[in-house]
Structure 1
Amino acid sequence: MVLDLVVIGLAIAVFPLSGTAFVLVLSAERGICKGLAFILAWLACFVAVLAAVLITTGGEPPAPKSAPSTAASAAKLAIGLGLVGFGWYRRRNRGRTGQRRRSSGGLMSRLDRLSMWTAAALGPLLQPWGLVAAGAATVVSADLSHASSYLALIGYCLLAASSLLTMEIYTTFAPDSARVRLGRLRTWIETHQEQALVSVALVAGLFLVSRSIAQLTS
């Protein structure tokens, strides 16, 4: 479970769409407060998904080869295949991304005027839900009778949110330097967003496919 959560958490942390949106939120007026609202809503939704899974399982992992265990592995396989298909589709249609990048200026002007509540709503909305679902399917095997499972879940949550938390803390304590560096980061993401999105989708998808097949056939 731990290896799966580390890979999924890293994929969530570097997911370019939510990262780009968060950089734009931080660059807006009162960006630090809006960024905090974004993160709190993001984390609340993220933790709620995990809590729902743990409540359903009662904190006890299903027996190997049981119906719940097989269903969780099958769900991860389906999500992995979906990510691979999504990555392949985006790779085949890279030429159509220019228009999306040109629209970022209009998006920036809208984000300058967004309210605190809207910033909070963007957090859950822009989560990579396919990866979040894969993490939820992995958490099915968590055994809460061991402290190590709690540590793994806490580490997973922190790892998934690490990029957002790092940018928020950096902007809070070094606003001038952060403004310059986040501006460069935004430019880099906008230039390489499609390649990053394809890479994350394909790597995470292939990992989930291989792991789920191994679990289903072992």
Structure 2
Amino acid sequence: MLPDLVLIGLGIAIFPLSVTAFVVVLSADRGTWKGLAFILSWVACFVAVLAAVLITTGGKPPAPKSPPSTATIAVKLAIGTGLVVYGWYRYRGGGRTTRQERPSGADDAPAGGEAADAGRSPEPEEPSGRMSARLDRISGWTAAGLAPLLQPWGLVAAGAATVVGADLSRTSSYLALVAYAVLATSSLLAMELYAVFAPDTSRERLGQLRTWFQTHQNQALVGVSLVVGLFLMGKSIYELTS
């Protein structure tokens, strides 16, 4: 269970959409307080999911090869397949967007191209840019409300399906759950502490991180989705066939 939770927790921690949104929250006015509200809401939602799973199972994993155990593995296989499909979709879409950003003949445009461009309507603002502009003006309560919405629910669901195998009669299971929760929240905690103890330096560094994630958002989404998805698919197929 622990290797699965470590990989899933790491995927949640570096998920680009939530990380980018949190950096924007920190850069807003009174950003450290809004960031704290975001983290508290994030952790509360995350722990609620884990608690719901453990209450349902009673803290005892299903017996191997039993219908509940097989159903849990099938759920993880479905989630893994969904992540792979999503990653492939983002990869294909990202490739087309990159090719369309600059026409192949743009470098050979005639000298009058600038005048032609002047009559064109401006390009629509990117969705990520619109989101950033809105997040710059949010309140603390809004930041807290956004946290559950921005959690990567596909990965959270994969973690919940894995937690079904937790045996609370063993100390190792408690440690694994704590490590999973801390790892999944580690990036947010690190940025919050950085902003609190080094506000001047963090403003510049976090701005660079925000720019990097916005520039490489599609690649990061593809990488996280494919790595976690293929891992879940491979392990689930092995468990179902062994």
Structure 1 length-normalised TM: 0.96
Map residues 90-129 of structure 1 onto 2, 5 A cutoff: 90-94=90-94, 95-96=96-97, 102-129=126-153
- The one-letter code matched in structure 1 to 2:210 is R
Q: How many residues align structurally? A: 218
Q: 2:228 matched to 1:204?
A: yes
Q: What's the Cα RMSD here?
A: 1.5
CA contact (8 A) 1:25 1:34 kept: yes
Higher-Rg structure is: 2
Gaps (5+ residues) in structure 1? none
Map residues 14-163 of structure 1 onto 2, 5 A cutoff: 14-94=14-94, 95-96=96-97, 102-163=126-187
Q: For residues 54-81 of structure 1, what are the alpha-carbon distances to aligned partners after superposition, in whole Å with 9 as ceiling and x for unaligned?
A: 0000000110011111111000000000
SS of the residue corresponding to residue 65 of structure 2 reads coil
CA contact (8 A) 1:18 1:127 kept: yes
Gaps (5+ residues) in structure 2? 102-122
Q: Name the residue aligned to 2:115.
A: none
Tell me how far apart the structure 1 counterparts of residues 213 and 124 of structure 2 sit (CA, whole Å): 13
Over 3 Å counting, the alpha-carbon distance change for 1:130 and 1:104 in structure 2 is: closer
Q: Please state how far the C-alpha of 1:101 moved relative to its aligned partner.
A: 7.5
Q: For residues 7-27 of structure 1, what are the alpha-carbon distances to aligned partners after superposition, in whole Å with 9 as ceiling and x for unaligned?
A: 101111111010010000001
Q: Please state how far the C-alpha of 1:86 moved relative to its aligned partner.
A: 0.3
CA contact (8 A) 1:13 1:161 kept: yes
Tell me how far apart the structure 2 counterparts of residues 106 and 85 of structure 1 sit (CA, whole Å): 27
CA contact (8 A) 1:101 1:190 kept: no
Between 102-111 and 143-152, report the one with greater CA deviation. Answer: 102-111
Over 3 Å counting, the alpha-carbon distance change for 1:3 and 1:168 in structure 2 is: same
Q: For residues 159-212 of structure 1, what are the alpha-carbon distances to aligned partners after superposition, in whole Å with 9 as ceiling and x for unaligned?
A: 000001100011011000100100100111111110010010001100000111
Tell me how far apart the structure 2 counterparts of residues 193 and 140 of structure 1 sit (CA, whole Å): 31
CA contact (8 A) 2:21 2:132 kept: no
Over 3 Å counting, the alpha-carbon distance change for 1:126 and 1:63 in structure 2 is: same
SS of the residue corresponding to residue 63 of structure 1 reads coil
Structure 2 length-normalised TM: 0.87
Q: Please state how far the C-alpha of 1:117 moved relative to its aligned partner.
A: 1.0
